[in-house]
Amino acid sequence: MQASLLMLGTLLAVAGTPPAGSTAEIKLDKCLVSLTDQRESQVSSKEAGILKQMLVRAGQEINENEPLAQLDDAEAKLASIAADAEYKVALEEARSDVNVRYSKAAARVAYAELIQAQESNRRVPGSVAKSEISRLELTYERSLLEIEKAQMDSKIAGLKAEVAKAKADATREKLTSRKIVSPLEGIVVELRKRPGEWVQPGDVLLYMLRSDRLKVEGFIKSSDHAPREIAGCPVTVSVPLVGGKPETLTGRIVFVSPRAESGGEYRVWAEVDNRKRDGHWVVQPGLTATMVIQPSN
């Protein structure tokens, strides 16, 4: 009886232990939280001009497309106003069909005069001189050509309007580019220019670090799970914060090392979306976390 109970207990113990390569959750402790990209992103000027205002400070957290700096734009505003006015003039000229309508009306009159002269000669031969008939024919042919010219001029006016629009868009873009905005959501780490300085296109104004996504890195024993089971798997990351309350983030495994480290472990990391609370990032780089991986079937 005791032998039977011992054997049953052994079977239950073995059944409750997930074998290597199973799809049970994998829990990794003491994972390192860091930024997905440790490199500083430089923010440069696209235009030349005087730096009128720096709108941020070092250490400030910035949202994507948030203004960072402003170049002097007085001249660019005037150029944009002038270009918009030129476009409006060109557009009105392109929309106008006065010349085409006038040419068609003139052609109808010339045709009517020619027909009238020809009818008169049919009724009374020689009542209208041949030279006059030739002149009326030439007048009518010229009026037809003037219709073609008016139509061509209208088409050219339309193309000129497109050129004027492109010029207006370009000057508006140059005006817009004098306000430098953040290309990413991150933290300003260094200011390189001060208000009043002259900057050239390509001059670095400041450096930033991306902080909206985090990398969570840990190690897995190769004897427990094959790399193919881990790649692309969803993860849940728990990060203890001040006061012991954990913050939970979700993401996915984006890297599985093809090489085992000493001790038979290989490195994996997941990317998770950070979140803000009261205007500040909840999880800071440098913390440790617990990562739970849900392996694929």
Contacts of 198 (CB under 8 A, 6+ apart): 48, 49, 50, 51
- Fold entry, domain 41-73+178-209: OB fold (Dihydrolipoamide Acetyltransferase, E2P) (2.40.50)
* pLDDT reading at 20 higher than 70: no
What residues pair up with 216 in beta bridges, in sequence order? Answer: 33, 270
* pLDDT reading at 253 higher than 60: yes
Question: Which pLDDT does position 61 carry in this prediction?
Answer: 85
Please, is 193 exposed, middle or buried when counting C-beta atoms within 10 Å of its C-beta (0-12, 13-18, 19+)? middle
Question: Can you give 84-143 as a three-state secondary structure string?
Answer: HHHHHHHHHHHHCCHHHHHHHHHHHHHHHHHHHHHHHHHHCCCCCCHHHHHHHHHHHHHH
Question: Which pLDDT does position 200 carry in this prediction?
Answer: 96
- Count the residues in the chain: 297
What residues pair up with 270 in beta bridges, in sequence order? Answer: 216, 253
User: 172 falls in which pLDDT band (50, 70, 90)?
Assistant: very high
Mean pLDDT of 27-50: 88
Domain 21-38+212-293 of CATH type 1.10.3720.10: no
Tell me how crowded residue 152 is: count the other CB atoms within 10 A of its CB: 11
Query: Mean pLDDT across the chain, nearest whole number?
Result: 88
Give per-residue pLDDT as tens, 192-235: 999 999 999 999 999 998 878 899 999 999 888 888 889 899 99
Share of the chain above pLDDT 90, in %: 69
List % helix, strand, coil for the chain (3-state, nearest 5): 40, 30, 30
Tell me how crowded residue 51 is: count the other CB atoms within 10 A of its CB: 20
Question: Can you give 197-214 as a three-state secondary structure string?
Answer: CEECCCCEEEEEEECCEE
Question: Which pLDDT does position 101 carry in this prediction?
Answer: 95
CA 176 – CA 179 distance, rounded (Å): 6
Pairing of strands 198-199, 179-181: unpaired
Question: Which pLDDT does position 149 carry in this prediction?
Answer: 96
* pLDDT reading at 178 higher than 70: yes
* pLDDT reading at 17 higher than 60: no
What residues pair up with 63 in beta bridges, in sequence order? Answer: none
User: 243 falls in which pLDDT band (50, 70, 90)?
Assistant: confident
* Residue 138 identity (one-letter amino acid): L
CA 293 – CA 261 distance, rounded (Å): 20
Question: Which pLDDT does position 297 carry in this prediction?
Answer: 61
Half-sphere exposure of 245 (CA within 13 A, CB side): 3
* pLDDT reading at 132 higher than 60: yes
What residues pair up with 137 in beta bridges, in sequence order? Answer: none
User: 261 falls in which pLDDT band (50, 70, 90)?
Assistant: confident
Domain assignments of the chain as residue spans, ordered by start:
21-38+212-293, 41-73+178-209, 75-176
CB 235 within 8 A of CB 216: yes
CA 7 – CA 13 distance, rounded (Å): 10
